[in-house]
Each structure stands twice: as C-alpha cells, then as structure tokens.
A and B are shown apart, each in its own frame.
Chain A
Amino acid sequence: MITELLDAIVSWRTLLVALVVFGFAPGALLRLIVLAFRRDDPRRSELLAELHAVPRLERPFWVFEQLEVALFEGIHGRVSWAQAKWFFQRKRRSTFFLRLSEDQTTADQMVHVDYSGRLREEMLAVNALFEPYARIHGIEITSADGNRYVARIRTHDGNYRLAGAGREFWKLLQKLDEQFHSEFKVDSD
C-alpha cells in the first residue's frame, strides 16, 4: 500500500512538473527545444515567434509537438550539415568552391592560380559558402600546362539558399555536377 502511495506521489509529481513545464513555461521550454536546430537555421526564430500566434490553451500541446519536430528535423539537419562539411573538407584538394560578388560577372576574372595549384587565400571563400543566397561557382584544377593551369568551372548563377539544412548543400553539389562544364585556360602569375 505504501509503495502504491509512493508511486502515486511520484506520478503526481511527474504530472505536476509536466504541467508546470509545458503549461506555465512553454516559452522557456521551446527555447531549449529549438537549440536542436543549427544556430543559423531560421526555424529557431520562426518557432519562437510562432508561439505567440498559438492560443494559450493550445500552447503546451503545440510546444510538445515542436519537440518531435526538433528531434527529427533539427538533429537530421545537424547531421547532414556535418556530412556536407566533411565532404567539402575531403574534396577541397581538388575542387574549390567560391562565391563571386555581384559585380564580378565572369568567373575567369576571379581565377588566379599559384604554382601549388591552390587558389589564393582571399578567393578561397570557404566561409562565404555558408552565407545565405550565395552565388556559387565550383572550380576544379584539372591539370597544369606549362605556366598555365587548366581549370574546369562549373557555374550556376542561381541564388541558392544555403542558410538552411545541409540537405540544401547536397542539392547544390548535385546541381553543380549537372550544370554545364566549360574548360578554359587560366593564366598563372
């Protein structure tokens, strides 16, 4: 009987805690939940703002629903983003991705290659890759020909949304492969 009573107390406590957490502090709980999304994922701000549109009585249930969203979407996003970064790290010896600024209309204005075959540091805008709406050009140094390098540039002029999950990065890589390939000679210094 005492055990049953204790069980009841524990379950009542659990219930009370659940009521307090989900019922009285849904905003605080939601702030913890959205941490599952990557820092630059707009879903973080979106869900926090959306909470204000949810009627008060529905909020505990809605917040609980977001827990499911965050566990699946947020963690999946983090994993695929890590995969994409790993892919980039592995590939960067042969392929370079860089962003062109809006006033640089052709990729060959940007390309300078040194004798080590690496793009100059200021052009290897790796971090820019992670900015939203970047214009992306992939440049692959395929061979050296005397004092010139042969590069293949894979261009896509569309603006890609890169601020979301890693999945978008994968899509970008796939699209780059599907885009036209143009080979040209690149003068080295």
Chain B
Amino acid sequence: MRRTHALIQVALALMEDPTGRHWGYDLSRRAGVRSGVLYPILHRMLDEGWLDDGWEDPAQLGGKRPPRRHYELTDEGRIALGALLQEARSDARFRSLVGRFA
C-alpha cells in the first residue's frame, strides 16, 4: 500500500486502540482525514486483510437508527500497521506526524 500522510494518519488513529472497534465518522475525526480519503483507505485495508468489518446487532439498538458498520484490526493488521508506523518514524516525510503521537 502506498505510504501517504493520510494512510499514516489513519494508521495512527487505528493503533490508538489496536483491539477496539472503530467507526467511520469517529475515525475520520480522530485521524483528521475527510471521508473521501478515509473510506478508500479502509477498503484497501480490508482487501489486505488488515481489518475486519461488521455491523451492529439491530436487536441491541435503541431507537430507530440503523445499525452502523464497525472496523477492527486483525492480528495481521496490527503487525502491518506497527511496522508501517515504525518505518514512518525513520522517514523524513512522516517523522513530524508520527513524532507527535510517539
């Protein structure tokens, strides 16, 4: 996957909670990327097997809102993103970005 600022930002947001569930809107806010950038990255991560996705159980939802889709890092994804962030730390283009969260 091509390394871009957006990818690093999304990776950082995902790795803030590597075992938790992540939601689209929340993730775009935490990563600081627009949804037009976020969703293609999430799709590529799903293709790579770095993420699993799922839907909320409608039976457990209160109110009338529809079930939301969530994303979780797989073991492979945690390893891949960990390595990606490690490499980004030594890359001058991303050092400042990763350094802030290190």
Contact = CB atoms under 8 A, between A and B. Distances in A.
B66 A66 contact: no
A128 interface: no
A161 B46 contact: yes
A73 B40 CA distance: 8
A65 B36 contact: yes
A78 to B, nearest CB: 15
A49 B69 contact: yes
Contacts of B69: 42, 45-46, 49-50
Interface stretch (B10-18, B23-31, B86-94): B23-31
Q: Bin chain A's interface residue count.
A: 20 to 34
B25 A45 contact: no
Nearest to B56: A49
Interface string A39-62: 000110110111011100000001
B19 interface: no
Contacts of A73: 36, 39-40
Contact of B47 (A45, A46, A54, A168): A168
Interface string B25-54: 110000000111001100100110000010
Given A65-B34, A66-B35, A53 B40 contact: no
Given A42-B69, A161-B47, A50 B23 contact: yes
A53 B47 contact: no
Contacts of B47: 161, 168, 171
Contacts, number: 51
Contact of B65 (A49, A66, A72): A49
Contacts of A52: 65-66, 68
B39 A50 contact: no
A6 B24 CA distance: 43
Contacts of A49: 65-69
A150 interface: no
Contact of A53 (B25, B39, B53, B55): B25
A54 B39 contact: no
Contacts of A48: 66
Nearest to B67: A49
B14 to A, nearest CB: 17
Given A50-B23, A73-B36, 12 more contacts: A45-B67, A49-B65, A49-B67, A49-B69, A50-B25, A50-B68, A52-B68, A54-B25, A65-B35, A73-B39, A161-B47, A168-B47
